[in-house]
Amino acid sequence: MPDTKLEQEIKELIVSSLALEDTTPKDIKTDQPLFVEGLGLDSIDALELAMALSKKYKIQMDGGTQGYRKHFASVASPGRLRCPEKEKPINMPTKEDVAQRIESIFVNDFGVKKNAIRPTARLYQDLGLDSIDAIDLVVKLEMETKLRLKAPDLRSIKTFQDVVDIVTDRLKNQNLKNEVKS
């Protein structure tokens, strides 16, 4: 059975990260033991291989030298490691969804009357928020969205619609970043 792409990459990583001069990836059998009677790697090699895999695949392995030896019993072993599932892109909420959620925060947390909330409503003059409320609003929005709002964004917020626009834009940007990572 031919090697999977991952197994081939691991073989190449073994040769390059451990500087095996007389060994090529083709020389390494997928189910061949990597230690002692197999390829002859030692505990230092296991540590170096763990660091190389961590760097290349952005995974972390615990277990110290003995754990690494178990993880790397053969080329097939690291391929069977269960990596945490990649963060899935969040479903992008619509601007209306964002507006409804923010409206709910204004009504429930700040006591703003629902009929006072409209896109052009000014936060301070029309909705009655003060500077402490503004700080609370930012904290609540960051907790809700898991995003960090930047100071320039915050300075530009004057109306209810500004809040909706900034949160929607930041969620959209975060969603795009997640898709690029996947």
Kindly state the tokens that stand for 141: 């929005």
Q: What is the pLDDT of residue 93?
A: 79
Residue 131 — pLDDT band, cuts 50, 70, 90?
confident
In b/e form, how buried is each residue of 137-150, taking b as 16+ CB within 10 angstroms?
Answer: bbeebeeebeeebe
Number of helical (H) and strand (E) elements in the chain, helices listed first: 8, 0
Q: What is the pLDDT of residue 125?
A: 95
Q: Report if pTM > 0.85.
A: no
Of 83-92, 99-108, 158-167, the poorest mean pLDDT is in 83-92
Fold of 95-181: 1.10.1200
The strand pairing partners of 122, in sequence order, are 159
Of 31-40, 58-67, 106-115, the poorest mean pLDDT is in 58-67
The strand pairing partners of 74, in sequence order, are 33
> How many other C-beta atoms are found inside a 10 Å radius of the C-beta of residue 72?
24
- CATH number 1.10.1200.10 given to 5-80: yes
Highest mean pLDDT out of 2-11, 89-98, 104-113, 166-175: 104-113
Closest CA to 8 of 84, 78, 85, 58: 78
| Of 169 and 53, the one with more pLDDT | 169
The average pLDDT across 124-147 equals 86
Instruction: Say if 5-80 and 95-181 have the same CATH topology.
Output: yes
- Parse the chain into domains and list their residue ranges: 5-80, 95-181
Is pLDDT at 178 greater than 60 in this prediction? no
